Structure 1
Amino acid sequence: MNRPPPGAGTALLALHYQNDVLHPEGKIRVGLAADSPTRDRLVAAAEALLNRARARAMPIVHVRVAYREDGADIITNAPIFRNVAKIGAVQEGSWGAQFYSSLAPMVDNGREFVVKHSRINAFFGSQLEEILRVLGVSRLLVAGVATHSVVESTVRHAVDMGFEASVAADACSAADPAVHRASLHSMSLIAQILDTEALERSYPLA
């Protein structure tokens, strides 16, 4: 009997791996502090995760957040949005809105897609669901920054939509480690939480 390859039916969601979120000179600090000692470990884990997905031809959807330079498209009903508008973060066309160099999409890979959104949940007002339905996947492997923001919001929405979800814990981060851990614990009720060892068992590097 032919068995499907590891990861068949699964797509990787890589959320907000952008300069303003990850780089030491980035403007957004909800995922990593400017001098965070975890930055190198997070980036290494995210790089390994992307390598796992690419080795198995797993679809990857890179989700970015970006707004107009004048901020006219930023909703200001929540503190996080008001702060983004105030500091001028992730402005379309800016360095800050670009993907972190080592975690950027491979533009010549037909299994990689880029989605832009402008809220917290990556599904809201974006093409994410449409792409996933076209791909025919039923399971999502989710990673990104920040754990308690875009990651948790997206995972909860995905589960309500009927997707099975797993979270690559080591490829996620929050500026406060306690918040990161609490978010993972909260998501464990609805998603599988995978550390590096568990990821290696489920999606070994080729």
Structure 2
Amino acid sequence: MKAALLAMHYQNDVLHADGKVRVGVAADDPARPRLIASAARLIAAARANGVPVIFVRIAFAPDYADCLRNCTLFRRVAETGAVQEGSWGAEFFSELAPLPGEAVVTHKRNNPFWQSGLDEAVRATGAGRLYVAGIATNHVVEHGARHASDLGYSVAVVADACNTAQAHLHAASLENLAMLADVIQVEDAVAQMKGTQ
């Protein structure tokens, strides 16, 4: 079965130690280097095996006119000035950035598929299986995996290429997702990607 990888929110404001968003990785979290290394290995394996990588980002206009502030998460984004379009914070973390020609999708809600063109980008690859990774596990990863499952894709959540600022939320999210997706490690994804295209 053809596959694609969704690499979500590997952006400076979300992943960099100087970023403004703290739902994904705590500023002083020693797990940060492991997460970056795992995500880099996953992306490299996808590229090496011809698995398309779709980079998913979140970004808002500088005045946040396009940010629906109906929940605490997005109110905080606007209050802190995070992921403003055109800013360093909205850019991809340098070690996990797309290469020229790789698909990039921008979304503005919790669900990365919501009015973003992500499903169209996935369908263009012909993939029936989606590897999902990113930050935060209990936000974009969980929303994305659930929606992908509802769309009929076979979903694998790559646990060690995901994280949250609180370990118990990461674990709880993965436990919930285990009923809808395969919860695997990067080494499993790397092995599965060989010969999928």
Q: TM-score range by the shorter chain?
A: over 0.9
**Contact 2:131 2:158 (C-alpha < 8 Å) held by counterparts:** yes
- Structure 2 residue runs of 5 or longer lacking an equivalent are none
Kindly tell me the number of residue pairs found equivalent between the two proteins: 194
Rounded Cα–Cα distance in structure 1 between residues aligned with 2:186 and 2:42: 9
Other-structure match for 2:78: 85
- Structure 1 residue runs of 5 or longer lacking an equivalent are 1-7
1:109-148 residue pairs with structure 2 within 5 A? 110=101, 112-148=102-138
Please state how far the C-alpha of 1:203 moved relative to its aligned partner. 3.4
Q: RMSD of the alignment, in Å?
A: 1.0
Other-structure match for 2:22: 29
Moved more, 134-143 or 195-204: 195-204
Q: 2:177 aligns with which of 187, 192, 203?
A: 187
**Contact 2:18 2:27 (C-alpha < 8 Å) held by counterparts:** yes
1:170 is paired with a residue whose SS is: helix
2:133 is paired with a residue whose SS is: strand
Runs (4 or more) in structure 1 with deviation over 4 Å come to none
What are the superposed Cα offsets for residues 111-144 of structure 1, whole Å, 9 maximum, x if unpaired?
x200001011110010111111122111100000
Other-structure match for 1:3: none
What are the superposed Cα offsets for residues 159-188 of structure 1, whole Å, 9 maximum, x if unpaired?
001111001100000000111011001000
Work out whether 1:72 is the aligned partner of 2:65.
yes
Please state how far the C-alpha of 1:201 moved relative to its aligned partner. 3.1
Work out whether 1:19 is the aligned partner of 2:12.
yes
Rounded Cα–Cα distance in structure 2 between residues aligned with 1:137 and 1:90: 29
Rounded Cα–Cα distance in structure 2 between residues aligned with 1:33 and 1:203: 31
Work out whether 1:61 is the aligned partner of 2:54.
yes
1:12 is paired with a residue whose SS is: strand
Structure with more contact order per residue of length (Cα contacts < 8 Å, sep ≥ 6): 2
Identity value in percent: 50
2:161 is paired with a residue whose SS is: strand
Rounded Cα–Cα distance in structure 2 between residues aligned with 1:23 and 1:131: 27
**Contact 2:4 2:52 (C-alpha < 8 Å) held by counterparts:** yes
**Contact 2:42 2:186 (C-alpha < 8 Å) held by counterparts:** no
Rounded Cα–Cα distance in structure 2 between residues aligned with 1:13 and 1:41: 19
Please state how far the C-alpha of 1:198 moved relative to its aligned partner. 2.3
1:73 is paired with a residue whose SS is: coil
2:160 is paired with a residue whose SS is: strand
2:63 is paired with a residue whose SS is: coil
Rounded Cα–Cα distance in structure 2 between residues aligned with 1:203 and 1:163: 16
Rounded Cα–Cα distance in structure 1 between residues aligned with 2:192 and 2:46: 11
Please state how far the C-alpha of 1:151 moved relative to its aligned partner. 0.1
Rounded Cα–Cα distance in structure 2 between residues aligned with 1:197 and 1:13: 17
Q: What is the TM-score normalised by the length of structure 2?
A: 0.96
What are the superposed Cα offsets for residues 20-69 of structure 1, whole Å, 9 maximum, x if unpaired?
00000000000111111110000000000001000011111000000000
